Amino acid sequence: MASGLNRKNVTETVERLRNYFASDATRDFAWRRQQLDALERLLTEGATDIEDALRADLHKHPTESEITEIGFVLAELRLAKRKLRRWMRGSRERVPLALAPASARTVPQPLGTVLIVGPWNYPLQLLIAPLVGALAAGNTVVIKPSELAPATSAVVAALVEKYLDPAAVAVMEGGPEVSGWLLDQPWDHIFFTGGGRVAKIVAEKAARHLTPVTLELGGKSPVFVDGTGNMKSVARRIAWAKFINAGQTCVAPDYVLVTPDAQERLQVELAGAIRELYGDDPSLSDDYGRIISTDHYLRLTSMLRLGTVVSGGRKEVGTRYLEPTILADVLPTSTVMTEEIFGPVLPVVTVPDAESAIAFINQLDKPLALYVMSTRRSVRRAFLERTSSGALDFNVGAAHLSVPGLPFGGVGASGMGAYHGKRSFDVFSHQRAVLSKPLSPDTLRLIYPPYTPRKSKFVTALLRRLS
């Protein structure tokens, strides 16, 4: 659905999708598989248009778009296609002996009509990957792309209209006003990816209808480096995770905590890794992205004054170019250390040891991801046992997203709920409990009143022996 929306359009579209869901057409395995097949064609046949749109919005190289957007979603999609029939079967559960004979199982049911609100930084992946789960689970869906990535939003709208069932899936483009109209509707689930400020609005509006929400947020994802292991490899992995998509990644390393003996080595190797990835002048690299908007660019460049630039720092407002930048000598109280950066600026802070790093991290909101670059088993165990984060990666950055069996989601201020793999199906399903017991023999008579002394003694003994 293109521009020109009004509140009446939104309400009518949601009602139309609700009526289609009520027809039970989406519950059938064949319909779900058909939609997943169509979505796969959308991604493969529309790949060139998608790559061009991502280039226009974020200056993404086609290969980066394949790795982090199109190919990523295709992997999720193909897993769902292989496993769909099994996921739809649910599972059998053990029945207590006191209730026998009986059978128990869970049956996944679609929730109904759901809303997926996507962000601008990965405007295809973070919109379509949840859609895979919603369609696999048999829901009707409205997807709301970000208006800050207009080229991708337009391409997604055109492709969805061309390939997917228009009675079940609608795209609504527009700005905050359209988002407001959508959030005023009664949904069966809202899946939101974005920042904490807007997430609070989403949660507040959803609460008015008792609508469940999944909130995929961000936060300041830290890296701890203790100098053990190959520092060149450590720096290369940090640089790739940080500066892909020009740092505009929710799980990008947001700051580095490094021990004093390793700080200088790390800074030298980080500068070398940036040159290795993007050349001596990243502005000339086809592989390096741009900042999404002028406002975001100005916010990021203002942070360069909050420390000592040890590498990078060159910028150009007309093209929204900001060079990959390493900052030292930052104050823990400055905004570069208290707010999520979401761009190519990486502060490096010295801490005495792993204990101090853990204390530093634990005084802040729980991050979406935490990275520990150490070969010491005791250090890794300490971070595993004494910190909390959406994910924890040892000696690698931002790689856990690529493992379908791992949940992707935050904790506390970094979000609620998780998806990827089967969890994407589960997010958009209700696990219905089903119990079946024959009328004969009527063993339940053993627990019916009247409770004679003999019956009470028997029931008490039976239940305690089975517990």
Return the active site residues: 216, 250
What residue type is assigned to position 173 of the chain?
E
How far apart, in whole angstroms, are the C-alpha atoms of residue 257 and residue 332?
11
The H or E element spanning position 369 is strand 369-373
What is the four-CA torsion angle of 68, 73, 79, 83, rounded to 10 degrees? 150
Residue 205 has, within 13 A of its CA and on its CB side, a CA count of 20
Q: Which amino acid is at 265?
A: R
CB-facing half-sphere around the CA of 463: CA atoms within 13 A: 8
Q: What distance in Å separates the CA atoms of residue 67 and residue 424, rounded to the nearest whole number? A: 20
> Where in 111-168 does DSSP place strands (E)?
113-117, 140-144
Percent helix / strand / coil, the chain, rounded to 5? 50, 20, 30
Answer for the pair 190, 211: CB distance below 8 angstroms, yes or no: yes
CA distance linking residue 340 with residue 254, whole number of Å? 7
94 within 8 A of 35, measured Cβ to Cβ: no
The answer to whether 181 and 163 have CB atoms below 8 angstroms apart is no
Cβ atoms of 137 and 108 closer than 8 Å:
yes
Q: Could you tell me where the DSSP H helices lie in 137-259?
A: 150-163, 176-183, 196-207, 231-243
Nearest one of 295, 218, 282 to 249, comparing CA atoms? 218
Give the span between the Cα atoms of 73 and 461, in whole angstroms: 55
The crossing angle, in degrees rounded to 10, of helices 7-22 and 176-183 is: 40
